[in-house]
Amino acid sequence: KDSREYILKLKDIFAAPDIEQARERKEKLVKELEQIKPKIAHWLDMEIEACFTVYNLPSEHRKRMRSTNMIERFNQELLRRSRVIRIFPNSGSCIRLFSTMCMEQSEQWQTGCKYLDMSLLDNQPQQGWSELARAV
Residue 69 is predicted with a pLDDT of: 81
Residue 59 is predicted with a pLDDT of: 77
Q: pTM score, two decimals?
A: 0.57
Query: Dihedral of CA 130/134/135/136: which sign?
Result: positive
Q: How far apart are CA 120 and CA 65, in angstroms?
A: 14
| pLDDT block averages, 10 residues each, the chain of length 136 | 85 90 95 92 92 81 74 92 90 94 87 68 59 49
Residue 136 is predicted with a pLDDT of: 45
